[in-house]
Structure 1
């Protein structure tokens, strides 16, 4: 199976801006240009700083390096380029109604910023993910090798006409004479917004998750999701709130993002200290975070639009506090943390990520929270983790019978069924068999263990390498001295075997490694 090329994030290159007041009219056409000269897209030009995307515009991250390179090359060679559609506000901003990827590709080339340059660093306050950096590096190399950088053309121009080959000379001439054709939308901001949605749905359909986020851009779940995705950086969908609330949102979002996505995961897996969310696409991460916010705050996707807009930021902060509480509980250094080991709960034996297992675990935590039954889980945790790892083929079967989000309740019930039988002292070897026979989860079955990474190639695949490491490393992972569950580097506490209250000293022979919750709550 051919894997999709990494998408390049050009989102920072054209900032977002609200359309301001709904009845604002477009500036008169007498002021509008019919072509954008290429140099107008440089950072120090008078035109570029006034380019804007509507605040409901989806992220500009759908093109891979090859497509960006193809477009720039087409422009340099004078090929026909579709016109950009703009709307000009009374404030003088040029809003891109259609063509943000085309404009951004040229801006990236002119300013040497494919998601990791000066413009992007400023936009993201210096926080750029490894995934984004690697995609930028790959794009820059491809473009430089195939067509050359903008700086390369400037240097060739300084060498004089005779030193330039015919093809390159033609491209330099085009750089001085060509531009991007522009069409203009008239009318007020409402008409411009309607034009945007109409054009984007027809030309390049917006994905369901993107549409949900766009429609929820002023609602607490939408703002909270955007904040977590970008660790409180990037475009501030919360900029209308007070400075105090903006700061609070950013602090909460940064902590949640760190808990969920740190430490960084490299492929193939060569460490057991993997993050809660593994290497899935940006689109999948966006969907996962939105669903996480919704699940934690008891919002059904079908009722998202019924939420009122959050005009003060109070609801957004409440949603983020709830998300932080659950994120901390799953795996963190907070005293409440159960320290669920991601490798056991969220990954396959060959290192692939299981989104359905993540939703199921979140639902389990919410149930344990509601019923105050954490101690019941702790008492059987060691055997619980053994069973879900041994029978890691069951959850995918449950998820396959429904949408991955809706299946979370069934996954939670499967986990609870295991906990209940362990509490009743049912023999471990019979627990999953009994659950299958009871028939509460449909036609699921235990399957013979077949190594999915077996192949006839002489070279080891990435999955085989990961599976080999996990197979040999997992038995060596340290376990909690209280519950016997696996310990993860993000969630370790040093416990007094004999409590300080009982006279225990801070000596080495009185110290043991535990989960934070086992130390601070269960033990006491």
Structure 2
């Protein structure tokens, strides 16, 4: 199967703004303006600074390098391009009702900013992911090779006698070509209705995007948006006080770092991997929204019942809860269980398991509520042996519904393992007994795929990862208190003999442990 080309982030190029801004209407018939010319999209023009997207607009990141290049080439050749639909607000802004990607592609070309230069850097406060940088470089190279940069055409006007015929024609076209306009009349409500009607028909908004749009002023929606971009990008929290804005951005940055760093590279060549593996932008949006909801006990069916957060207090509270949960999973915080991501969230060949993540969150929330962490710690070494040897069981449980809906079943599966171990069942027989009881449906033990009989001469990415993990796993350090695997982001140096019992700070008295085992179990 061919790998999908990475999507290019053009989201920074047209700022967002709320519709509900009131000022005196200028007496100009905007409907008479039927075209945007290329110069109107330059930063120094009087039009571009007033161009806006609705604040509920989904991110402008659906086009890949080829589509952007093809569109710009079509524009240069004078091909027929669908009209852009605008609405002028009482505040004087020109809102894009339909055509955000088309305008953004041209703005990107004009400013040589495909998500990684000045406009984007300012928009994202300097935080631009490697994926975004790589996608930008891909489209920049493609455009340079195929059609040339905007700056090349500007320079060509000074050397018309030396350029080739095609470039001459395109340069001439840039002098009069433009994007046709249509205008939506009426108030902000009419404009919003037009936006949703047009966008649902042209390119249906996904269920997750629609949930985020509807939750854009609710604490879970604002918290999710903040985490997605590590506190940068469009600030859905900009109406809160400066103090609340700073708290939201700092919390979001920490949470993002805790769950997405260090960056996972394929094929896997280190066990220093993040809690969350490589997932697409659309998956990431859904993932984070569900994370916020689960941690804060918000059921999907009741999202819309949440009241709007007008001052930011509840958004901050939601983020603090997410921070504590992320710290509990894997961090240097004293509360950290130091769950090794490889054991809990990945398969033996390096594939990420979203269902396991949701299940672990639910497990931690249960352990917190019942104050039963120590029972988990007591059996942790054997528990980790079981879930790693049978990393295919959770996907079987999840396959019967969805990862979110199945999270409590996954939690119960984990609790059942602990219960069996507590009852004295040998760790090699735990899964066999669970299968016989049929509490979790028709699950079965599957043998891991052996690729030794493959006819391919090249190793697949999964085989490379499996080979690395097979040889690296036995070398991972274990906690000297609970026997569970240690991750480099969650190691504490413990006194074998406590200081209050006379233990010294010398090498012989030092041992590696999980922070929780050091600060809580031992004490």
Q: TM-score, normalised by structure 2?
A: 0.98
Superposition deviation, residue 283 in structure 1: 0.6
Q: Distance in 2 between matches of 1:322 and 1:294?
A: 10
Cα 1:320–1:32, aligned 2, differ >3 Å: closer, same or farther?
A: farther
Q: Distance in 2 between matches of 1:443 and 1:318?
A: 40
Cα 1:320–1:26, aligned 2, differ >3 Å: closer, same or farther?
A: farther
Residue of structure 1 in register with 2:457 after alignment: 458
Superposition deviation, residue 151 in structure 1: 1.6
3-state SS in 2 of match to 1:463? helix
Kept in 2, the 8 Å contact 1:21–1:189? The answer is no
1:470-490 deviation per Cα after TM superposition (whole angstroms, max 9, x unaligned): 111111111111111111111
Kept in 1, the 8 Å contact 2:222–2:315? The answer is yes
Q: What RMSD in Å do the two structures reach over aligned CA positions? A: 1.5
Kept in 2, the 8 Å contact 1:26–1:88? The answer is no
3-state SS in 2 of match to 1:161? coil
Kept in 1, the 8 Å contact 2:217–2:309? The answer is yes
Residue of structure 1 in register with 2:73 after alignment: 73
The yes-or-no answer on 1:145 pairing with 2:155 is no
Residue of structure 2 in register with 1:39 after alignment: 39
Residue of structure 2 in register with 1:60 after alignment: 60
3-state SS in 2 of match to 1:429? coil
Residue of structure 2 in register with 1:17 after alignment: 17
Residue of structure 1 in register with 2:433 after alignment: 434
Residue of structure 1 in register with 2:235 after alignment: 236
Kept in 2, the 8 Å contact 1:26–1:186? The answer is no
Q: Distance in 2 between matches of 1:468 and 1:412?
A: 29
Residue of structure 2 in register with 1:388 after alignment: 387
Cα 1:203–1:428, aligned 2, differ >3 Å: closer, same or farther?
A: same
Kept in 2, the 8 Å contact 1:453–1:464? The answer is no
Question: Does 436-445 or 450-459 show the bigger shift?
Answer: 450-459
Residue of structure 2 in register with 1:265 after alignment: 264
Q: Distance in 2 between matches of 1:145 and 1:316?
A: 46
Superposition deviation, residue 507 in structure 1: 0.9
Mapping of 1:358-397 within 5 angstroms? Answer: 358-397=357-396
Kept in 1, the 8 Å contact 2:25–2:92? The answer is no
1:64-85 deviation per Cα after TM superposition (whole angstroms, max 9, x unaligned): 1111111011001110011111
Q: Distance in 2 between matches of 1:387 and 1:102?
A: 52
Question: Does 456-465 or 379-388 show the bigger shift?
Answer: 456-465
1:41-77 deviation per Cα after TM superposition (whole angstroms, max 9, x unaligned): 1222221111110000000001111111110110011
Q: Distance in 2 between matches of 1:335 and 1:39?
A: 57
Q: Distance in 1 between matches of 2:33 and 2:383?
A: 67
Q: Distance in 2 between matches of 1:46 and 1:314?
A: 38
Superposition deviation, residue 24 in structure 1: 8.8
Superposition deviation, residue 512 in structure 1: 1.0
Q: Distance in 1 between matches of 2:30 and 2:430?
A: 77
Kept in 2, the 8 Å contact 1:259–1:328? The answer is yes
3-state SS in 2 of match to 1:162? coil
Question: Does 110-119 or 14-23 show the bigger shift?
Answer: 14-23
Residue of structure 2 in register with 1:49 after alignment: 49
Kept in 2, the 8 Å contact 1:26–1:189? The answer is no
Residue of structure 1 in register with 2:286 after alignment: 287
Residue of structure 1 in register with 2:403 after alignment: 404
Q: Distance in 1 between matches of 2:452 and 2:144?
A: 37
Q: Distance in 2 between matches of 1:413 and 1:24?
A: 60
The yes-or-no answer on 1:133 pairing with 2:133 is yes
Residue of structure 2 in register with 1:297 after alignment: 296
Question: Does 116-125 or 30-39 show the bigger shift?
Answer: 30-39
Cα 1:452–1:180, aligned 2, differ >3 Å: closer, same or farther?
A: farther
Q: Which runs of 5+ in 2 are unaligned?
A: none
Q: TM-score, normalised by structure 1?
A: 0.97
Q: Distance in 1 between matches of 2:324 and 2:190?
A: 42
Residue of structure 2 in register with 1:489 after alignment: 488
1:242-267 deviation per Cα after TM superposition (whole angstroms, max 9, x unaligned): 11111111111111111011111111
3-state SS in 2 of match to 1:119? helix
Superposition deviation, residue 433 in structure 1: 0.3
Question: Does 215-224 or 142-151 show the bigger shift?
Answer: 142-151
Residue of structure 1 in register with 2:6 after alignment: 6
Q: Distance in 1 between matches of 2:30 and 2:394?
A: 62
Superposition deviation, residue 384 in structure 1: 0.5
Cα 1:485–1:219, aligned 2, differ >3 Å: closer, same or farther?
A: same
Residue of structure 2 in register with 1:221 after alignment: 220
Superposition deviation, residue 453 in structure 1: 9.1
Superposition deviation, residue 429 in structure 1: 1.3
Residue of structure 2 in register with 1:519 after alignment: 518
Question: Does 148-157 or 439-448 show the bigger shift?
Answer: 148-157
Superposition deviation, residue 449 in structure 1: 2.0
Superposition deviation, residue 225 in structure 1: 0.2
Q: Which runs of 5+ in 1 are unaligned?
A: none
User: Which segments of structure 1 move beyond 6 Å, counting only runs of 4 or more?
Assistant: 22-27
Superposition deviation, residue 457 in structure 1: 2.1
